[in-house]
Structure 1
Amino acid sequence: MKIITWNCNMAFRKKADVILPHHPDILIVPECEHPDKIIFSNTYATPTNTYWYGQNKNKGFAIFSFGDLKIKLLNHNPDFKYILPLNIYNDKISLTVLAIWAQKPDNHDCYTEQIWNAIHFYHILLHHENIILAGDFNSNSIWDKPKRIYNHTNLVELLKTKNILSSYHHFHNQIQGKEKHSTLFMHRKIERPYHIDYCFVSKNLINKIKQVEVGAYEPWTKYSDHTPLIVDFDLN
């Protein structure tokens, strides 16, 4: 099973054919227009199920599944807007997914506050196996403010207490804040690289990871300021 998260920087209808050749089973796309605006070509396998959330039909949050995977929205707290609790499942597996597109609060610039509060709100969901939290977190340990309880490092530690780990950091043996691969190039500038997109998974899935890939600056920055994070699992 392959899970891909990619902030497409809007106009996904013009960009679907650059991500679909990677054959996702689950595709998480922040900044995606409403599905009514998207016409998929017949060149690659197209989504069989879609869940979209947003107030702006040009810039919302889409989760696509392929094959026989179905998507069900769980009890969504709208206070957390673009943190969507989902059950993605077929006859063989059931995944509890928090699809994340972190938003900046009104009163400060720490994107992790929303994720931190959502994790506490959805804590019962996170006690099961087959947990995935994936998307654009808009955060990294390099921006930690030590006195802020919900900084990125504390968020990672909180997830660790729930046996939920970053697939990228585990697979590539990386330290938070010192990543060798970047998922964002601010304003598409190669000299402004950051790692802000993640796929955290429960411990029962971490050893089933076959590969974790981060898209390179070229060719992805032709399409978005973000590059995709691709996590491939062997769930047989």
Structure 2
Amino acid sequence: MTDSFGFKPSPQEHVMRIATYNLLKGGTKRTHWKEMIESHLVDLLLTQESARPDLHLTPDMFPDFQKQFVWEMSENKGWGSAIFSRDGRLEAIQVPGFSGWAVGAKITNATWQRDLCESIFVFSLHAPELMGGYAKAVNKFLDEVKMIAGQNEVIIGGDFNLTVSRWLSPEKKISKHDLAIQARLADEFALMNCWQEANPGQELHQTLRWTNNRETVYHCDGIFVPKSWKSRLQSCRVLSGEEWDRLSDHNPVVATFG
């Protein structure tokens, strides 16, 4: 399901939202975080290619926001990956070999965790092409997540730089490497793909509009949560429209749970 920039969800009791968003080279207009947190009521925000969060959020907006995010800068780029939680305790986790490309946090005592989990390991990924291809990089990242989280539940979201959902059209092929990663997330990590689960029977929606190719549908941004949350998943939307096009070459993906 897609939604325009003008779509604003209504505050609802007992609703939780997770979003992932690649901001493009730091997020030049610095409105991305505010739009997601204030206007779209996101409780858990995973960002990639984000400038330092205090350039996006100010103390008058969130007096304690320095305690509400973890962020790692990618070397020599001025931007990196981040995790924001509206409340709760965040314990920063480094992902070896992925500084600035992936960041983790153990989150406890957040109100959005109600009846879902007492604590959870959360990871925001921007897959690099540093290890002989994106698939190899994502598999290496998943190896590290397994080492870090063990048998604990995890949330993984971000820009995988490969296809994270399956096409309905048989003429549109997905590489065996991408399919293997989809299977690994589902089987080894017991995660569900929020967009695919919430939108059965729909063709994949575009989450990336490369500046040199805005027509081809790339669906490389996704949110993966424990399969046990399936009954709570209400929707998963790709936010789109001209206003979003001006902010980044990626579109945010937002999953809502009741």
Task: Give the alignment's TM-score, normalised by structure 1.
Answer: 0.81
**Preserved CA contact (<8 Å) 1:134 1:199:** yes
**Stretches of structure 2 lacking an aligned partner (at least 5 in a row):** 1-15, 165-171
- Counting matched residue pairs gives 222
- Say yes or no: does 1:200 pair with 2:224: yes
Who is 1:19 aligned against?
A: 36
1:118 to 141, 145, 158: 141
Distance in 2 of aligned mates of 1:113 and 1:167: 23
Who is 1:134 aligned against?
A: 157
Who is 2:167 aligned against?
A: none
Moved runs in structure 1, 4+ residues, more than 6 A? 43-46
- Say yes or no: does 1:5 pair with 2:16: no
**Preserved CA contact (<8 Å) 1:16 1:40:** no
Q: Deviations over 1:174-226 (max 9, x none)?
A: 58xx51x1111111864133111010111112221121111124331011001
One-letter amino acid of the counterpart of residue 164, structure 1: L
Distance in 2 of aligned mates of 1:174 and 1:99: 27
Counterpart mapping for 1:141-180 below 5 A: 144-146=174-176, 151-162=177-188, 163-173=190-200, 178-179=203-204
**Stretches of structure 1 lacking an aligned partner (at least 5 in a row):** none
One-letter amino acid of the counterpart of residue 242, structure 2: E
Going from structure 1 to structure 2, the CA distance change for 1:44 and 1:230 (only over 3 Å counts) comes to farther
Range that drifts further, 10-19 or 39-48: 39-48
Q: CA RMSD in A?
A: 2.7
What is the percentage of aligned positions where both structures have the same residue? Answer: 24
**How far did residue 136 of structure 1 move?**
0.8
Counterpart mapping for 1:17-56 below 5 A: 17-20=34-37, 21-40=39-58, 47=65, 49-54=68-73, 55-56=75-76
**Preserved CA contact (<8 Å) 1:182 1:193:** yes
Range that drifts further, 120-129 or 159-168: 120-129
SS of the aligned residue for 1:192 comes to: strand
Who is 1:215 aligned against?
A: 239
SS of the aligned residue for 2:97 comes to: helix
**How far did residue 5 of structure 1 move?**
0.7
**Preserved CA contact (<8 Å) 1:11 1:58:** no
Who is 1:94 aligned against?
A: 119
Who is 1:64 aligned against?
A: 84
Q: Deviations over 1:90-113 (max 9, x none)?
A: 16532211211111125x3x2121
Distance in 2 of aligned mates of 1:173 and 1:24: 23
**Preserved CA contact (<8 Å) 2:82 2:103:** no
Going from structure 1 to structure 2, the CA distance change for 1:207 and 1:128 (only over 3 Å counts) comes to farther
Going from structure 1 to structure 2, the CA distance change for 1:39 and 1:205 (only over 3 Å counts) comes to closer
Range that drifts further, 225-234 or 49-58: 49-58
**Preserved CA contact (<8 Å) 1:213 1:230:** yes
Distance in 1 of aligned mates of 2:81 and 2:103: 9
